[in-house]
């Protein structure tokens, strides 16, 4: 187990879950005390990578310091409230964050109270990008890490979000799990490389103030998926003209506003189908769809399955 995980589990006095493990292929640890409650599920993809799924809720602002291992970290925050002391700075729900630590270092976390911290992350170890990629695909460590450094701190890559959701809901034998999770690590690495290639082809220059405005708007969008969110309203919130907003929004997220909205609604629908007993019609309504049939058609286009088929898998 990596030092950062071990330090966190010790800090929260988490115990391994032996019964009713929500992620049977993962080592799952749970805590419930005066500081809060939650669980962390960790899967080791050999010596190449680690996958972690965590859901925590803290009763007061939670501060802790952990040693960070060398590696490339990708974390998607489905729910979070943090401040600038968080490793990635101020983080926003619905976004993916990438960091490359070239040396072990100490990192301080501050997670705000009473907002669930729902996180799924992938850590690529040096053996993955230093040995495996070179031996298997001829991609050198220098080439891979240089390209990863081109990525902005905040990202939203819907294909990666879809893969992370597949990881959350995977069920199968131990043998199939090894093949499945390893293949998903490779898929994510490939998507990261493709994103850097797109950045190199069409480099956008975005002022920091505009970037911050878009990030705040994204946070608003993710909390209000049930509402109508016209371009003009969002542009006004960001203090931009509609045409500038469209340009900057795509530069920051990599996607047009309409595509982003659909993707986020479908991600939320996937989560509700897997984690609640809500009727499909109620899920559609909660995401702003007046027609259940139209929602189901959009969902099938996104996942390749109808909502009830997705729930039964």
36 and 63 belong to one structural domain:
yes
Choose one of 166, 201, 236: the last residue of a domain.
201
85 lies in some domain = yes
Choose one of 213, 232, 254: the last residue of a domain.
254
Three-state secondary structure call for residue 74: strand
Residue 155 has pLDDT above 90, yes or no: no
Domain containing 242 equals 204-254
294 lies in some domain = no
For the segment 32-62, what is each residue's pLDDT rounded down to a tens digit? 999 899 999 999 999 999 999 998 989 988 8
Angle, CA of 7, 10 and 15, to the nearest 5°: 130
Instruction: Please provide the average confidence, as pLDDT, over all residues in the chain.
Output: 85
Looking at residue 120, its pLDDT comes to 92
C-alpha distances out from residue 228 to 40, 95, 126, 290, Å: 35, 21, 45, 11
Of 254, 160, 147, nearest to 204 by C-alpha is 254
Dist CA 109 CA 80 (whole Å): 12
212 and 178 belong to one structural domain:
no
What is the CB-side half-sphere exposure of residue 271 using CA atoms within 13 A?
16
Q: Which CATH number does the domain housing residue 31 bear? A: 2.60.120.10
Of 49, 312, 308, nearest to 192 by C-alpha is 49
246 and 112 belong to one structural domain:
no
95 and 75 belong to one structural domain:
yes
Looking at residue 68, its pLDDT comes to 75
Residue 153 has pLDDT above 90, yes or no: no
299 lies in some domain = no
The owner of tokens 């190199």 is: 200
Dist CA 56 CA 240 (whole Å): 36
pTM to 2 decimal places: 0.69
217 and 184 belong to one structural domain:
no
Residue 85 has pLDDT above 60, yes or no: no
Residue 152 has pLDDT above 80, yes or no: no
For the segment 176-205, what is each residue's pLDDT rounded down to a tens digit? 999 999 999 999 999 999 888 776 665 555
């Amino acid at each position: 187990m990596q030092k950062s995980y071990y330090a966190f589990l010790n800090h929260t006095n988490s115990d391994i879950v032996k019964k009713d493990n929500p992620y049977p292929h993962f080592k799952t640890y749970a805590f419930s005390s005066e500081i809060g409650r939650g669980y962390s599920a960790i899967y080791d993809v050999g010596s190449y990578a680690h996958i972690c799924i965590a859901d925590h809720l803290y009763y007061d602002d939670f501060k802790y310091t952990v040693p960070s291992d060398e590696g490339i970290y990708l974390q998607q925050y489905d729910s979070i409230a943090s401040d600038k002391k968080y490793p990635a700075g101020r983080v926003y729900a619905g976004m993916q964050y990438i960091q490359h630590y070239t040396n072990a270092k100490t990192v301080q976390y501050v997670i705000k109270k009473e907002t669930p911290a729902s996180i799924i992350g992938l850590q690529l170890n040096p053996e993955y990008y230093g040995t495996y990629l070179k031996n298997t695909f001829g991609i050198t460590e220098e080439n891979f890490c240089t390209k990863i450094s081109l990525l902005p701190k905040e990202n939203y890559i819907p294909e990666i979000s879809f893969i992370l959701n597949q990881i959350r809901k995977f069920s199968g034998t131990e043998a199939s799990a090894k093949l499945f999770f390893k293949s998903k690590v490779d898929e994510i690495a490939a998507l990261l490389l493709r994103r850097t290639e797109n950045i190199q082809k069409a480099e956008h220059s975005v002022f920091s103030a505009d970037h911050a405005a878009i990030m705040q708007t994204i946070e608003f969008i993710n909390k209000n998926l049930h509402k109508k969110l016209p371009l003009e309203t969002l542009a006004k919130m960001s203090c931009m003209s509609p045409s500038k907003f469209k340009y900057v929004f795509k530069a920051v997220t990599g996607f047009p506003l309409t595509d982003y909205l659909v993707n986020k609604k479908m991600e939320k629908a996937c989560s509700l189908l897997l984690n609640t007993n809500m009727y499909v019609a109620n899920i559609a309504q909660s995401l702003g769809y007046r027609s259940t049939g139209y929602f189901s058609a959009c969902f099938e286009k996104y996942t390749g399955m109808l909502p009830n088929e997705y729930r039964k898998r």
